[in-house]
Structure formats: C-alpha cells, structure tokens
Chain A
C-alpha cells in the first residue's frame, strides 16, 4: 500500500516545472493557495482547473499516476462532496429519492469545493513531486531569511525540515520491517474487530519510537563530531539561480489572479 503513496515523493525529471527555482515554486504555490479562494463562479473555477491542468502537463507527470497516488485523498474529497449535497438546503430541488433531496445550491457548492480541493492537492503535490526535498528546504531557508532580523532561527528550522524529510523513507522501511516481524509473531493488523486492530498498533509504534529516538541521538552525535555549529558563516554547495522561467511563471500567476478578480462575481 505504501509503495503507491506519492505524498512527499520526488520524481526526478527535467521538465519546465522541474527546472524552476525552488524559491519561485514555493512563492507560486503559496500565492496560488490564496488565489484559489478568489474563485466563486463557474468561469473562475474553470480557469483554476485549466490552469492546474496546464501546470500538470508542463511537469510531464502522468495524470493517471497522480490520481492513482492521491486515492486516499480522494476519499476525503468524496466525503466533503456528499456532506455538501446532503446538508445544503437552498435553491430548487434537482433530484429527489424518497426523503433524500439534492438541492441546486448544494450541488453547486459541492462541485466548487471539490474543484478547490482538487486543485490545491494537485498543485501542492506537483511541488513536492518535481522538487527534491533538499531544494525545497533550501528555498524555504532563503525565503525566510529576512526573519533572521527578528531572531527567528531560520537555518535551524530549515535543517529540522530537511532532516524530517530525509527520514521519511527510512522510517517507512523501518515500519515495514517491524510490521513484518510482529506479523510473524502472530499479530494481525489487517483483520479482526477495530478494538483488536488498535491494540495491534502498540507493538508497531513502540519499537518505531525507540528506533527513531536512537537515530536522532546518533545523528546529533555524528553532526557534533563533524563540527556542526549551526548556520553562522556557513556557505552553500548548491547555489540557487533565478532565471527567465521563474519570472514567466510568476507573471503567469499574476495574470491568472487578474483574470479571477475580473471575472468573479
């Protein structure tokens, strides 16, 4: 199951999107998240959807792969859609089956919220799929740099983030191993009543925490031994470079925003 998850996974490539500077991608995605909330009618939502599809196309990540990998999220999507349909009671009745009534406004809201959700999930996934975790943290560190003036430990935060990202696959492997070891000892995570299943999580979590703490300690020691003393005066191996692609993508976003402002009700 975990093999198919694409959260936080990076797929190397050299498409237009891959080659963007992480700073511009981050700014783009965060701005986009805000811009999404400008949409409030069919035209604007259509714009959003088309824009997102264009970005996916330019990232050369197969749509099928993306949708397949986001299946767990889709459940949430369907759930929100149903909630909207069931509990909004405004406008005309579109569809009726016994006491189950679907109202026009509910359907509208349901579809809009779903698009909003989909667009957000796709865009953020594209960010992580096309940017290696290391460049994401590099980007964040540089973008947050001004906050150093107000004594924010920017370098430390970025380091924490890159360490966390770095250990996701390791912990996944570890989980798999421990799960198998406990299954071999007769613990069953996938069957039985809920109560039993919840109980079966303990033999998984305890060893996982123990090893995570041990790893953290080892890592801290290893860093200290190699003379790590925080970000002061530290130079970079990978230099970030802003080029025409980055400018273009940000301009595209500004145009998009203008269109939304213009066409919204």
Chain B
C-alpha cells in the first residue's frame, strides 16, 4: 500500500491566537514496498508528518492518499479504522502505551480492536514475542515488571500484531543500547523484506537511514526539501550542511580515507562492509599499477 501527500500543510491550534504552521505544501510519494526514511533536524515537522499517515491528523490544506483512501482538508474523515489497521505506527517511546495486566493481553489489544478473533490474536502474540526477541514466558508477565528495552519490544509487537501493510517508525530505537538498536532495526528490515511491507522510518540517525532506506526524504522547517536514494542524498555534503544535517559516519570516514589515499573511490559506500571491499579493491588496483 502506497502513501501520497499532495500539497499538505498543517497548522496546530487552527483558528486560535496560538495558530502555528508546522508543515508547508509537502509533496511526498511513497510507493508500495519502499523503505522510506524521513530525516530532519528537531522541529522540522517529522513528527507532524507521520501523524498524517494514518489520519491521526487531518491536513489543514491539501490531500493525503493512503492506499485508495483520500483524506482531504475541509472534508469530514469518517471511519478511519480500516486505515489505522493497515498503517501501524510505532511512536517514539512506544513503551508508554502499555497498559494491560499481561504482555499477552497488551499485544492482543490492537488486533482485537480491529475485530480479529481472540484465538487468532493470541496466536499472533505467540509468534511475535519470538520475533521481537523475547522468551515466550514473558507473555504472562505484567508489562510493568519488564525492563525498558523489553517493554519497547512488547510495544512493537503490539503494533505488528495488527498485521499492518505499512509500518511507520518514529525513532524506534531512541534510548536503547547499541546492540538492542541494531537488533530492532535489523528485525524491521527483515520484516520489510519478507512481508513486502512499506516502511517509513522517521529518524535523526543518518547511519540507520543510510543502511536501511531505499529512499531518504529530508525535512527542513516544515518543508520536504529533498527526496532521493541514499547515494543521491549523501553525494552532496553541502546541501546537507545547509539543512544542519551531517553525512553518516561511514561516508565521512570514506572521505578521510580518500584524502589519505589521494584518490576517490568509485562509489559512495553506505555500510562498513561495502567500504572495506571498496578500499581493498582500490589498494589492489594501486599495487597492480606499480
């Protein structure tokens, strides 16, 4: 399921003395099956834009196409439940949304709201608890007895249990230890591949955007100023600088190596593995030339 924003503007507190625009004429098309990253500085409108993806916010101007549903400014949007079932949002610090007595019940909460039977929901919970890397006996514990990282995983399972076609992630790894971060990001990437999901990752982390995304959109002061593949986006360090963003560590490292070797590599590398291979290749060529 694809998502398309057309000329979307959004103002908070419309019609009061506190009215404030957070988005201006945003155009963004996310085709079905894309892994789309949205990056931007704090206050660039990232969190506002993501609430448009399932109708939590209605545009003040413009239209949002979610699959074949259209949510347009000025029109009443009724029955958003089907949209919300298909677009799962993992909010920042999703562990704050846990409330049930047991982990099992909490994971079942989402699917049962959408009319999934109790058995089916329980079945999903049992599968998902493994997927998010927790032992099955967690299901019978109270979510409030878990550690922060475990709670995060339970909350993520709770969103996945809705069986969404689009997953929107808002800084899903903020505050986790590096290993937990990688595990969770890898899990989402695997899911994206296996189930043919459309994934939207809202993040500060250039590294995650570089490593996982097919396309990267850059938000700056409420506008979507750039949307392209990681290679396109990271080829131009100056433009990034303008939007107060940095190149990923790995690309910066590549630039340093290039300076040392006094020659540029054939492409921009987005992962450590790629860069290692490229450097080895370049060294080999250098030796052959002698």
Contact = CB atoms under 8 A, between A and B. Distances in A.
Nearest to B17: A65
B91 A181 contact: yes
A178 interface: yes
A184 B81 contact: no
A174 B92 CA distance: 12
Given A207-B98, A210-B144, A185 B16 contact: no
Contact of A185 (B13, B109, B144): B109
10 contacts: A178-B97, A180-B91, A181-B94, A181-B96, A182-B97, A183-B84, A184-B91, A188-B113, A206-B99, A207-B96
B172 interface: no
Closest 4 CB pairs of A and B: A186-B113, A206-B99, A181-B97, A185-B110
Interface string A181-197: 11111111000000000
Interface in B145-195: 158-159, 162
A188 B91 contact: no
A177 interface: yes
Given A181-B96, A202-B99, A207-B97, 14 more contacts: A3-B12, A3-B13, A178-B97, A182-B97, A183-B56, A184-B84, A184-B159, A185-B84, A185-B97, A185-B158, A186-B113, A188-B113, A206-B99, A207-B98
Interface of B: 12-13, 16-18, 51, 54, 56, 81, 84-85, 87-89, 91, 94, 96-99, 109-110, 113-114, 144, 158-159, 162
Contacts of A182: 97
A184 B80 CA distance: 10
Nearest to A62: B17
A3 B18 CA distance: 9
A211 interface: yes
A91 interface: no
Interface of A: 3-4, 65, 174, 177-178, 180-188, 202-203, 206-207, 210-211
A182 B144 CA distance: 17
A181 B92 CA distance: 10
B84 A207 contact: no
Nearest to A11: B17
B81 A188 contact: yes
Contacts, number: 63
Given A180-B91, A185-B110, A3 B144 contact: no
B107 to A, nearest CB: 10
A42 B24 CA distance: 54
Contact of A186 (B12, B18, B85): B85
A180 B52 CA distance: 12
A65 to B, nearest CB: 7
A228 to B, nearest CB: 27
B54 to A, nearest CB: 6
Nearest to A6: B16
Contacts of B97: 178, 181-182, 185, 203, 207
A197 to B, nearest CB: 13
B88 A184 contact: yes
Nearest to A2: B13
B13 A186 contact: no
Contacts of B51: 180
Nearest to A209: B99
Nearest to A214: B96
A211 to B, nearest CB: 6
A203 B96 contact: no
B164 to A, nearest CB: 10
Most buried by B among A3, A174, A181, A182: A181
B287 to A, nearest CB: 56
Nearest to B88: A184
Nearest to B79: A191
A158 B78 CA distance: 46
Nearest to A184: B89
A206 B16 CA distance: 31
Contacts of A181: 89, 91, 94, 96-97
